[in-house]
Protein backbone atom coordinates (compact mmCIF):
# COMPACT_ATOMS: atom_id res chain seq x y z
CA UNK A 1 0.00 0.00 0.00
CA UNK A 2 1.25 3.46 -0.95
CA UNK A 3 -0.01 6.93 0.03
CA UNK A 4 0.83 9.68 -2.47
CA UNK A 5 -0.08 13.35 -3.00
CA UNK A 6 -2.18 13.96 -6.11
CA UNK A 7 -3.99 16.94 -7.63
CA UNK A 8 -7.64 17.12 -6.62
CA UNK A 9 -8.65 16.91 -10.29
CA UNK A 10 -6.84 13.56 -10.76
CA UNK A 11 -9.11 10.87 -12.29
CA UNK A 12 -8.60 8.53 -9.31
CA UNK A 13 -9.80 11.29 -6.97
CA UNK A 14 -12.91 11.72 -9.12
CA UNK A 15 -13.54 7.96 -8.92
CA UNK A 16 -13.32 7.87 -5.12
CA UNK A 17 -15.38 11.07 -4.85
CA UNK A 18 -18.12 9.37 -6.88
CA UNK A 19 -18.04 6.46 -4.44
CA UNK A 20 -18.18 8.67 -1.35
CA UNK A 21 -21.05 10.70 -2.85
CA UNK A 22 -22.99 7.45 -3.39
CA UNK A 23 -22.37 6.58 0.23
CA UNK A 24 -23.64 10.01 1.33
CA UNK A 25 -26.82 9.40 -0.67
CA UNK A 26 -27.27 6.01 1.01
CA UNK A 27 -26.68 7.45 4.48
CA UNK A 28 -28.29 10.90 4.22
CA UNK A 29 -30.55 10.69 1.18
CA UNK A 30 -28.54 13.25 -0.79
CA UNK A 31 -24.94 14.00 -1.89
CA UNK A 32 -22.66 16.51 -0.20
CA UNK A 33 -23.16 19.89 -1.88
CA UNK A 34 -19.91 21.41 -0.61
CA UNK A 35 -18.21 23.13 -3.53
CA UNK A 36 -14.57 22.09 -3.81
CA UNK A 37 -12.10 23.54 -6.30
CA UNK A 38 -8.94 21.69 -7.34
CA UNK A 39 -6.67 24.67 -6.59
CA UNK A 40 -7.81 24.69 -2.94
CA UNK A 41 -5.77 21.52 -2.37
CA UNK A 42 -2.60 22.80 -4.02
CA UNK A 43 0.38 23.01 -1.64
CA UNK A 44 1.15 24.95 0.43
CA UNK A 45 -2.51 25.93 0.95
CA UNK A 46 -3.73 22.35 1.01
CA UNK A 47 -2.95 18.77 0.11
CA UNK A 48 -4.82 15.80 -1.29
CA UNK A 49 -3.69 12.22 -0.69
CA UNK A 50 -4.66 8.92 -2.26
CA UNK A 51 -3.83 5.47 -0.97
CA UNK A 52 -3.24 2.77 -3.56
CA UNK A 53 -3.36 -0.96 -3.02
CA UNK A 54 -0.45 -3.14 -4.21
CA UNK A 55 -2.14 -3.59 -7.60
CA UNK A 56 -2.48 0.18 -8.14
CA UNK A 57 -6.16 0.45 -7.25
CA UNK A 58 -7.12 3.67 -5.39
CA UNK A 59 -8.60 2.61 -2.05
CA UNK A 60 -8.60 5.66 0.24
CA UNK A 61 -8.43 9.44 0.08
CA UNK A 62 -8.44 12.61 2.08
CA UNK A 63 -7.35 16.20 1.89
CA UNK A 64 -7.11 19.50 3.66
CA UNK A 65 -7.63 23.04 2.44
CA UNK A 66 -6.87 26.37 4.10
CA UNK A 67 -9.67 28.27 5.75
CA UNK A 68 -9.60 31.62 7.46
CA UNK A 69 -12.15 33.72 9.32
CA UNK A 70 -15.45 33.67 7.42
CA UNK A 71 -19.18 33.91 7.83
CA UNK A 72 -19.27 30.08 7.73
CA UNK A 73 -17.63 30.04 11.17
CA UNK A 74 -14.01 29.27 10.30
CA UNK A 75 -11.12 30.98 12.10
CA UNK A 76 -7.83 32.31 10.82
CA UNK A 77 -5.31 29.49 10.54
CA UNK A 78 -7.82 26.67 10.08
CA UNK A 79 -7.09 23.64 7.92
CA UNK A 80 -10.34 21.98 6.88
CA UNK A 81 -10.34 18.21 6.43
CA UNK A 82 -12.29 17.07 3.37
CA UNK A 83 -13.32 13.85 1.62
CA UNK A 84 -11.82 11.31 3.97
CA UNK A 85 -12.91 8.02 2.46
CA UNK A 86 -11.89 4.36 2.45
CA UNK A 87 -13.52 1.88 0.08
CA UNK A 88 -15.53 -0.72 2.03
CA UNK A 89 -13.21 -3.62 1.12
CA UNK A 90 -10.20 -1.80 2.62
CA UNK A 91 -11.78 -0.61 5.88
CA UNK A 92 -10.33 -1.71 9.20
CA UNK A 93 -6.72 -1.56 7.99
CA UNK A 94 -5.83 1.82 9.52
CA UNK A 95 -5.77 3.69 6.21
CA UNK A 96 -7.93 6.60 7.36
CA UNK A 97 -5.77 7.07 10.45
CA UNK A 98 -2.57 7.05 8.33
CA UNK A 99 -3.99 9.59 5.89
CA UNK A 100 -5.29 11.76 8.72
CA UNK A 101 -1.89 11.76 10.45
CA UNK A 102 -0.14 12.74 7.22
CA UNK A 103 -2.63 15.54 6.54
CA UNK A 104 -2.25 16.92 10.05
CA UNK A 105 1.55 16.95 9.71
CA UNK A 106 1.37 18.71 6.36
CA UNK A 107 -1.11 21.34 7.58
CA UNK A 108 1.08 21.97 10.64
CA UNK A 109 4.16 22.37 8.41
CA UNK A 110 2.19 24.84 6.26
CA UNK A 111 1.57 27.00 9.35
CA UNK A 112 -2.03 26.08 9.97
CA UNK A 113 -2.94 26.13 13.66
CA UNK A 114 -6.12 24.06 13.88
CA UNK A 115 -7.58 21.14 11.93
CA UNK A 116 -11.36 21.37 11.58
CA UNK A 117 -13.91 19.02 10.10
CA UNK A 118 -17.61 18.50 9.69
CA UNK A 119 -19.12 15.04 9.67
CA UNK A 120 -22.56 13.70 10.46
CA UNK A 121 -24.54 11.44 12.72
CA UNK A 122 -24.92 8.83 9.96
CA UNK A 123 -21.16 8.31 9.84
CA UNK A 124 -20.48 6.69 13.23
CA UNK A 125 -17.20 5.16 12.01
CA UNK A 126 -15.87 8.62 11.17
CA UNK A 127 -17.01 10.08 14.48
CA UNK A 128 -15.24 7.24 16.33
CA UNK A 129 -12.04 7.76 14.32
CA UNK A 130 -11.91 11.49 14.99
CA UNK A 131 -12.61 11.08 18.71
CA UNK A 132 -9.82 8.49 18.94
CA UNK A 133 -7.43 10.97 17.25
CA UNK A 134 -8.05 13.75 19.84
CA UNK A 135 -10.65 15.73 17.89
CA UNK A 136 -13.19 17.41 20.14
CA UNK A 137 -16.74 18.56 19.34
CA UNK A 138 -17.00 22.25 18.55
CA UNK A 139 -19.85 24.73 18.94
CA UNK A 140 -20.78 26.87 17.19
CA UNK A 141 -20.64 24.66 14.15
CA UNK A 142 -19.01 25.76 10.90
CA UNK A 143 -19.28 25.02 7.21
CA UNK A 144 -22.09 24.50 4.75
CA UNK A 145 -24.07 22.16 7.01
CA UNK A 146 -23.67 24.12 10.26
CA UNK A 147 -27.43 24.59 10.60
CA UNK A 148 -28.31 20.90 10.05
CA UNK A 149 -29.22 18.85 13.12
CA UNK A 150 -27.23 15.81 11.96
CA UNK A 151 -24.06 17.87 11.42
CA UNK A 152 -21.18 17.43 13.88
CA UNK A 153 -18.12 19.66 13.90
CA UNK A 154 -14.75 18.84 15.45
CA UNK A 155 -11.44 20.61 15.98
CA UNK A 156 -7.90 19.64 16.91
CA UNK A 157 -5.10 22.10 17.66
CA UNK A 158 -2.07 21.55 15.45
CA UNK A 159 0.43 23.34 17.72
Q: How many other CB atoms are found less than 10 A from the CB of residue 108? A: 15
Q: Domains of the chain, with CATH numbers?
A: 2-114 (3.40.630.30)
| Residue 29 near residue 42, CB atoms below 8 Å | no
- Relative orientation angle of helices 124-132 and 95-109, to the nearest 10 degrees: 50
d(CA 139, CA 141): 5
36 contacts: CB under 8 Å, gap ≥ 6:
8, 65, 82, 83
Sheet holding 78-86, edge to edge: 2-5, 46-52, 58-67, 78-86, 114-120, 151-157, 136-137
At residue 2, the 3 state secondary structure works out as strand
d(CA 72, CA 99): 26
Each residue's pLDDT tens digit in the chain (159 positions)? 899 999 999 999 999 999 999 999 999 999 999 999 999 999 999 999 999 999 999 999 999 999 999 999 999 999 999 999 999 999 999 999 999 999 999 999 999 999 999 999 999 999 999 999 999 999 999 999 999 999 999 999 998
| Residue 58 near residue 50, CB atoms below 8 Å | yes
Residue 92: which of 63, 50, 125 has the closest Cα? 125
Amino acid sequence: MQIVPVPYDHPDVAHLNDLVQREYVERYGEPDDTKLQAHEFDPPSGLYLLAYDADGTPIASGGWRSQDQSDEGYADGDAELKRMYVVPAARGRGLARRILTALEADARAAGRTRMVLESGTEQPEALTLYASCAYVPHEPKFGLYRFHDESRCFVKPLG
